[in-house]
Amino acid sequence: TGPATVSPTGQPTGADQARMAQSGSYLTDAQGTRLPDTDHSLKAGPRGPVLLQDHHLREKVMHFDHERIPERVVHARGAGVHGVFRSYGTAANVTKAAFLAEDVETPVFVRFSTVLGSRGSADTVRDTRGFATKFYTSEGVFDLVGNNIPVFFIQDAIKFPDVIHAGKPHPDREIPQAQSAHDTFWDFVTLHTEAAHHTLWNMSDRGIPRSYRTMEGFGVHTFRLVNAAGETTLVKFHWKPKLGVHSLVWEEAQIINGVDPDFHRRDLYDAIEAGAYPEWEFGIQTFPDTPDQTFEGIDLLDPTNIVPEELAPVQPIGLLTLNRNPSNFFAETEQVAFHVGHLVPGIDITDDPLLAGRLFSYLDTQITRLGGPNFPQIPINRPHTPVNDMLRDGFHQTAVHRGVAPYRPNSLDGGCPFTAGADAGAFVETPVRVPEATKVREAPESFNDHFSQPRRFWLSMSPVEREHIIHAYTFELGKCYEQAIRERALQVLANIDPELCAGVAAGLGLPAPEPTVPLADVEPSPALSQIGQTWPTD
């Protein structure tokens, strides 16, 4: 901020002009030239033709013509707000991340979203919700780009274009907009049975949250934490809403979609405006970083798996409070650019093959969406730390770099002879041993169990939640045109649970098939049910 720079006429100039634009005492064009009138084109007489020489007309319309940028290829519909994260220090033994040390406050920007709908679609559709958090830490930006569902449809990012093509509106008629009730979606998730778990969560009440304020959030992948002694721990990240987890019922969601398609963003903004700041506790499940990267037989690199909280309790490590609405939706919510590769010392990735593809995808898509490689300079994306990145030029470059030697070390710009590893505060990739292996396009054997985790979810549901799930599958599959897809979906459900399959089959008027795999012998996990949640801790 600092003192405003003002021109001799009392108008702000330079950076302050951008900040204060649209509140000055007189109007100018983009070059700062004062304008007398912006309501009339320049004409040859009041009833005559408009003149091409009207620079103001051309500039104004030209700028308007280019006001829209591409919407996000997924998660286009969203609402972002500011807040603060305060750490408890309880993770300090497992990570050296400065923002997780005791009692550190870090500014954040959080964007909630649906996945499939376009920017103008309704809020209360049945879908997964994004829960992306940008932490402006003292060591650089850390982004946790998660969802409200702890598992994903696919295990390998190479299938992401496929699952999104299947979930987006049909390519011929561009319908349906944002619901899963269509043939391509069900075709995909029944042909790729690894999707059974995520689909079951979508068909549960989690697919229609009551409010962003009452959603859990999950980092989904397993991450690797590193402490000051260099010891590593595998973790899964959780957000636990202080208001508890609540959903709409299907009929409410339908009515709200019509009456107030902005229901979720309005609810969030109104709550913050009223001072009812939503809060989430940040938590981690920790697992020993063993060479096989499994826990109690669960493959931690498979993003279709959860680890039941009864086996690995979520330990609270900090509190997120959302307390400020955006002042400019475009500048903040639309231009924010999250990326799973934005990491800080003490937080590292694992070899989850879905995460690997994401590390490429976010930067790549943002080059198109935000018009070139300089989007980290957009105010909402700027780290709250000094930047000395040696990156130069490019579309929409706003920095005026000084010096003659944009490389390091150099002997021309005053040195900075940094040698690798000399800076103790640097992000250094954890030296994880890569097993000797042959290049293959294959998934590990352990990725082949597609039904035991959805079965655990189903067995953990209360009777009313089960009723809702059966109703959701029946409704959505009832919209499919292809009978073969409905039948294949029933086969997937039979492999999860006979009661679930029988309920949906009855609703569709079809016979219930027998399972083709033995039903998994799994214990329910009460923490998966929204009924009788024991969180929050206090």
Q: How far apart are CA 81 and CA 112, in angstroms?
A: 9
Q: Which helix (H) or strand (E) holds 87?
A: strand 78-87
Close Cβ partners of 328 (under 8 Å, ≥ 6 residues apart): none
Close Cβ partners of 508 (under 8 Å, ≥ 6 residues apart): 474, 477, 478, 486, 490
Ranked by CB distance to ligand HEM, the top (closest) residue is 130
Q: How far apart are CA 257 and CA 177, in angstroms?
A: 12
CB of 160: closest distance to ligand HEM in angstroms? Answer: 4
Tell me which residues touch ligand HEM (CB under 6 A). Answer: 72-75, 78, 111, 113, 130, 132, 145-147, 152, 157, 160, 220-221, 303, 336-338, 354, 357-358, 361-362, 365-366, 369
CB of 158: closest distance to ligand HEM in angstroms? Answer: 8
Q: How far apart are CA 345 and CA 181, in angstroms?
A: 43
CB of 434: closest distance to ligand HEM in angstroms? Answer: 22
Look-up of token digits 């953990």: 460
C-alpha distances in angstroms, 323 versus 193, 201, 268?
41, 29, 10
Is 369 annotated as contributing to ligand binding?
yes
Counting every residue, how long is the chain? 538
CB-wise, 152 or 473, nearer to ligand HEM? 152
CB-wise, 151 or 500, nearer to ligand HEM? 151
Is 358 annotated as contributing to ligand binding?
yes
Angle of the 353-369 helix axis to the 160-167 helix axis, nearest 10: 60
φ/ψ of 80, rounded to 5, equals -120, 145
The active-site residue out of 75, 192, 198, 339 is 75
Q: How far apart are CA 76 and CA 70, in angstroms?
A: 9
CB-wise, 159 or 456, nearer to ligand HEM? 159
Answer for the pair 493, 455: CB distance below 8 angstroms, yes or no: no
Token output for 149: 């569902």
Cβ neighbourhood burial of 538 (10 Å; 0-12, 13-18, 19+): exposed
Q: How far apart are CA 439 and CA 257, in angstroms?
A: 49
Is 111 annotated as contributing to ligand binding?
yes
The active-site residue out of 56, 82, 147, 202 is 147
CB of 164: closest distance to ligand HEM in angstroms? Answer: 8
Count CB atoms within 10 A of the CB of residue 156: 17
Three-state DSSP state, 6: strand
Answer for the pair 128, 115: CB distance below 8 angstroms, yes or no: yes
Is 362 annotated as contributing to ligand binding?
yes
CB of 177: closest distance to ligand HEM in angstroms? Answer: 18
Q: How far apart are CA 111 and CA 365, in angstroms?
A: 17
Q: How far apart are CA 463 and CA 267, in angstroms?
A: 29
Active-site residue 384, yes or no? no
Q: How far apart are CA 381 and CA 363, in angstroms?
A: 13
The string of DSSP letters for 96-133 reads --GGGSTT-EEEEEEEEEESSS-TTS-SSSSS-EEEEE
Segments in 346-482 forming alpha helices (H):
353-369, 452-460, 463-478
CB-wise, 160 or 475, nearer to ligand HEM? 160
Active-site residue 147, yes or no? yes
Q: What region, left, alpha or beta, does residue 13 occupy, with left being phi > 0 and alpha being psi -120 to 50 degrees?
A: beta
Look-up of token digits 């030239």: 33
Is 77 annotated as contributing to ligand binding?
no
φ/ψ of 240, rounded to 5, equals -115, 115
Biggest distance spanned by C-alpha atoms of the chain: 86
**Residues annotated in a binding site for heme:** 72, 111, 160, 358, 362, 369
List residues with catalytic annotation.
Answer: 75, 147
* Binding residue positions: 72, 111, 160, 358, 362, 369
